[in-house]
């Protein structure tokens, strides 16, 4: 099957980014691009290795409030870069550095929006990991900041840089699958219980105030710290935001969906008896004008009925297109398939750098990332409120005003999200 050309994809992109809009390294393509990485754990360590592999890119800073993570993180950086980087706990000090051109946000969800808006205000371009934001209001504020300050802001939904995903989009948009009234994405996380723990003293080497950032001040709790912060509403977005964003983003992208009109969700903590607040079992249904899209997660299960721990199924009138670990194929219909593309994360990072240097269009611009992420926020809002929500995509508001509080948050003094 023919893979869409870069020209075809760019023509289909909803947003045009002008090379004239960007400054510093963007005005001088041959100039070295200096990048700071925020976050020293899983995704942060990946980016410390990945960014220096792009020609002309240097990592200058690691922003991490836990000094205990720095040696191992710098060890990962040394695999790709000879030059040493600096460690800083406070992002504000790094954003004040004139020689830093871009910020990579691989911090917990609750920091994504504030870091991105601050970076745009400081004239930095941003590569922000998924989910875009901690809540819906923040996502729109990030879009506004990118536009006002004319910054390149790429979202880490790297499947939009994958050739096989682009091929699936072209296949569906050409009408070969016919109408697609129903789509489904899922994950069976096979993740163990986090157990139950009690608050403790802040570990030595941790700047807990900077870890909390915009969140309310709470005693240090080991199950609210590294990685397990995902399962607390004030810090993370649950499994829907953690992995649901990937499945929902691909489905929305290949089907050409905009925003839903109605959202409902059910589930709960049905399997684990532990500290986490967010549901270990959840379904969320998003009704668009042309189809229904369903997300399902069972973080305690090994595999789904399709035999895959993660997947997407698009049910059309001429067959069902299924994304799995091998790529995608059509079942019970026309014969078509595509193997999974290799090196998609490297391609996604290269696209970000190219957008800064040459004005190339982003594969996953902040506006598109926000539209995919808001599905996660609406699904969680429906779950937490126990209501079916009716969403106005133009104003990004809910008809159910008593559920609107789930779309934003209050901020701690000194870490308020700026108005744009």
pLDDT tens digits for range 84-103: 999 999 999 999 999 999 99
Q: What is the mean pLDDT of the chain?
A: 93
pTM for this entry: 0.93
- Is 227 within a domain? yes
> What H or E segment, with its residue span, contains residue 140?
helix 136-148
Q: What is the pLDDT of residue 30?
A: 53
Q: What is the pLDDT of residue 28?
A: 53
Whether residue 24 is predicted with pLDDT greater than 70 in this model: the reply is no
- Is 321 within a domain? yes
Q: What is the pLDDT of residue 156?
A: 97
Token digits of residue 257: 């969906």
Q: What is the pLDDT of residue 189?
A: 87
3-state helix, strand, coil in the chain (%, to 5): 35, 20, 45
- Is 1 within a domain? no
- Is 418 within a domain? no
The 33-38 sheet, strands edge to edge? 86-88, 57-63, 33-38, 102-105, 125-128, 153-155
For residues 155 and 167, state if they share a domain: no
Q: What is the pLDDT of residue 303?
A: 87
Q: How confident is the model at residue 55 (pLDDT cuts 50, 70, 90)?
A: very high
Cβ proximity of 124 and 35 under 8 Å:
no
Whether residue 7 is predicted with pLDDT greater than 80 in this model: the reply is no
Distance, CA of 8 to CA of 11 (rounded, Å): 5
Whether residue 27 is predicted with pLDDT greater than 90 in this model: the reply is no
- Is 59 within a domain? yes
- Is 323 within a domain? yes
Whether residue 16 is predicted with pLDDT greater than 90 in this model: the reply is no
CATH value at residue 291 = 3.30.360.10
- State pLDDT tens for residues 167-220: 999 999 999 999 999 999 999 988 999 999 999 999 999 999 999 999 999 999
Over residues 34-42, the mean pLDDT reads 98
Over residues 108-130, the mean pLDDT reads 98
**Alpha-carbon 405 to chain mean position:** 22
Residue by residue, what is the 3-state secondary structure of 149-167? CCCCEEECCHHHHCHHHHH
Distance, CA of 382 to CA of 357 (rounded, Å): 41
For residues 393 and 274, state if they share a domain: yes
- Is 26 within a domain? yes
For residues 128 and 205, state if they share a domain: no
Number of domains in the chain: 2
For residues 254 and 359, state if they share a domain: no
- State pLDDT tens for residues 293-332: 999 999 999 988 778 999 999 999 999 999 999 999 999 9
- Is 409 within a domain? no
Tell me the residue range of the domain where 149 lies.
6-160+346-366
For residues 57 and 97, state if they share a domain: yes
Over residues 271-296, the mean pLDDT reads 98
Residue by residue, what is the 3-state secondary structure of 185-241? EEECCCCCCCCCCCCCCCCCCECHHHHHCCCCCCCCCHHHCCCHHHHCCCCCCHHHH
Residue 305 DSSP SS3 = coil
Whether residue 10 is predicted with pLDDT greater than 60 in this model: the reply is no
For residues 107 and 252, state if they share a domain: no
CATH value at residue 129 = 3.40.50.720
Q: What is the pLDDT of residue 31?
A: 81
Q: How confident is the model at residue 41 (pLDDT cuts 50, 70, 90)?
A: very high
Whether residue 15 is predicted with pLDDT greater than 50 in this model: the reply is no
For residues 303 and 212, state if they share a domain: yes
For residues 102 and 208, state if they share a domain: no
Distance, CA of 218 to CA of 211 (rounded, Å): 11
For residues 298 and 153, state if they share a domain: no
For residues 316 and 380, state if they share a domain: yes
For residues 358 and 379, state if they share a domain: no
For residues 56 and 148, state if they share a domain: yes
């Amino acid at each position: 099957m023919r893979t869409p050309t870069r020209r075809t994809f760019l023509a289909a992109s909803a947003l045009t980014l002008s090379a004239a809009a960007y400054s510093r390294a963007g005005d001088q393509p041959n100039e070295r691009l200096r990048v700071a990485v925020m976050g020293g754990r899983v995704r942060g360590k990946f980016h410390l290795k990945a960014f220096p592999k792009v020609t002309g890119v240097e990592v200058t800073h690691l922003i991490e409030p836990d000094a205990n993570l720095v040696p191992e993180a710098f060890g990962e950086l040394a695999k790709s870069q000879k030059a040493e980087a600096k460690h800083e706990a406070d992002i504000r000090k790094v954003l004040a550095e004139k020689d830093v051109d871009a910020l990579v946000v691989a911090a917990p969800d609750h920091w994504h929006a504030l870091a991105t808006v601050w970076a745009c205000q400081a004239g930095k371009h941003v590569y922000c990991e998924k989910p875009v934001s901690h809540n819906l209001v923040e996502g729109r504020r990030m879009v506004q900041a990118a536009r006002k300050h004319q910054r390149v802001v790429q979202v880490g939904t790297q499947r939009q840089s994958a050739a096989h995903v682009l091929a699936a989009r072209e296949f569906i948009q050409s009408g070969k699958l016919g109408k697609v009234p129903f789509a489904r994405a899922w994950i069976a996380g096979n993740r163990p219980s986090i157990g139950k723990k009690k608050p403790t003293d802040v570990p030595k080497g941790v700047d807990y105030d900077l870890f909390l950032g915009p969140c309310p001040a709470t005693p240090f709790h080991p199950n609210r710290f590294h990685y397990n912060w995902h399962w607390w509403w004030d810090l993370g977005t649950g499994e829907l935001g953690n992995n649901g964003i990937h499945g929902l983003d691909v489905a929305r992208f290949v089907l050409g969906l905009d925003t839903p009109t109605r959202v409902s969700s059910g589930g709960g903590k049905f399997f684990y008896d532990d500290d986490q607040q967010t549901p270990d079992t959840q379904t969320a249904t998003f009704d668009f004008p042309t189809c229904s899209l369903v997300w399902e997660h069972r973080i305690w299960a090994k595999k789904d009925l399709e035999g895959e721990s993660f997947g997407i199924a698009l049910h059309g009138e001429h067959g069902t297109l299924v994304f799995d670990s091998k790529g995608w194929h059509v079942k019970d219909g026309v014969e078509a398939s595509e193997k999974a593309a290799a090196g998609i994360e490297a391609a996604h990072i290269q696209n970000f750098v190219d957008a800064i240097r040459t004005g190339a269009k982003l594969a996953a611009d902040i506006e598109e990332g926000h539209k995919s992420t808001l599905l996660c926020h609406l699904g969680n809002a429906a779950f937490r409120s126990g209501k079916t929500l009716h969403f106005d995509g133009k104003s990004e508001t809910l008809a159910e005003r008593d559920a609107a509080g789930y779309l934003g948050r209050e901020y701690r003094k000194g870490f308020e999200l700026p108005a744009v």
